Amino acid sequence: MIGLELPLWTLGAAYLAGSFPTAYLVGKANGVDLRTVGSGNLGATNVYRTLGWQWGLLVYLVDGLKGLLPTVLLPGAVGVAGGWPWGVLLGVLAIVGHVKPIFLMGKGGGKGVATASGVFFALAPVAGACALLAFALTVAATRYVSLGSLIGALVLPVAMMAQARAITPLSLVGAGIAAFVFYTHRDNIRRLMRGNERKLGGDKSVQEGGMT
């Protein structure tokens, strides 16, 4: 037991849920190993660019559910309160599973954005909606999915603090997740700074960036 409240099996379940390799399976179903095409990232953006928007949307939604469902369902299944801290812990483990999936030997996961959005839609829906809006507006204005992901990640903890009118433990977790998203997008940031990050719908000769 963790703190005599959260059974250890729930931690494994959250990680395994996050590890479900949505993009990999969608690619294989279409005869493609997404680790070898485009950006090589197993996220919704690479799926969209390689297989089309329908498959990209499906991967984004499933990857979001990988974060939302463990955060919401597992605490209730063992009779503990969701939210802080147990729902947060389970959500973070789902994000880790998405980035380092055990089903792919800990390699070739996504960048964590879609799964993190599912976690925070469960924990802080207003802030999650603000982050999604910031993402959408940034992508619409610039056509850089990676930049939209970074801006959305920054907006998330700020929106939580604004709503609570205080720095809360959950907003600090949100800030930590934002830092993690920046880390997973470090190559995208370098390309953005150099001016050779591929835009949504842009020239395929420009190096691609991922999202989720």
Mean pLDDT per 10-residue section of the chain, whose length is 212 residues: 75 97 96 92 93 96 97 92 91 96 85 95 96 97 96 97 96 96 95 92 52 52
- 58 burial via Cβ count (<10 Å: 0-12, 13-18, 19+): middle
Domain segments of the chain as ranges: 8-194
The pTM of the full predicted model, rounded to 2 decimals, is: 0.90
**Cα separation values, 58 from 24, 48, 83, 113, Å:** 12, 10, 26, 15
Beta strand extents in the chain (DSSP E only): none
Closest CA to 26 of 56, 64, 70: 56
pLDDT recorded at residue 82: 84
Spatial contact of 11 and 75, defined as CB atoms under 8 Å apart: no
Helices 53-77 and 86-99 cross at an angle (nearest 10°) of 140
pLDDT recorded at residue 143: 94
pLDDT recorded at residue 177: 96
pLDDT recorded at residue 38: 87
pLDDT recorded at residue 203: 55
Give CA–CA dist 40/146, Å, rounded.
15
Phi (first) and psi of residue 202, to 5 degrees:
-85, -175
Give CA–CA dist 148/131, Å, rounded.
9
Helices 113-123 and 125-142 cross at an angle (nearest 10°) of 140
* Cis bond before residue 85 (omega within 30° of 0): yes
